[in-house]
A = this chain, B = another copy of it.
Amino acid sequence: MIEDQLTPPYYAVIFSTVLADDISGYIEEANRMEELAKQQKGYLGIESARNEIGITVSYWQTLEDISAWKNNIEHVEARNLGREKWYKKYQLRICKVEREYGFEKN
C-alpha cells in the first residue's frame, strides 16, 4: 500500500536496510513494530518495500513525534535486537516533506 496525499509540511523517516543472512524472527518483529508505530502520536503513514535492499518510509506530523517513537521502550529493544541479529547495514534519514504530487489512473 502506498499512502495517499498528505498535507505538507510533515516529516518522513527513510530507513534503508541490508539484512544479514539469517533473518529468523525478523518478519514477525518488523510487523510488530509497524503495528506499534501506527498507535503512536503523530503517526501519518508507512510504506515499505524489499528485494535486494529494504526501504521503509514512515510519515510523522512533527520531529517531536519521531523522537518519542525513537525512544519508545519496545522500539529501543527491537532496534538493539536488529543491530545484533538482523541488520548488516542501515541508514536512517529524517526529512521534512515540503511538496508532494500524486497520480492515480481512472
A residues near B, CB below 8 A?
1-5, 12, 14, 16-18, 20, 47-55, 57, 83, 87-105
Given contacts A49-B51, A53-B49, A55-B57, A102 and B97 within 8 Å (CB-CB): no
Most buried by B among A57, A83, A91: A91
Given contacts A12-B14, A50-B49, A57-B55, A98 and B103 within 8 Å (CB-CB): no
A3 touches B95 (CB 8 A): no
- Specify the chain B residue showing the minimal Cβ separation from A103: B90
* A91 smallest CB distance to B (angstroms): 5
A89 touches B101 (CB 8 A): no
Most buried by B among A51, A57, A93, A96: A93
* A58 smallest CB distance to B (angstroms): 11
Given contacts A2-B18, A57-B16, A97 and B99 within 8 Å (CB-CB): no
A2 touches B17 (CB 8 A): yes
Q: In whole angstroms, what is the CA distance A91 to B103 when docked?
A: 6
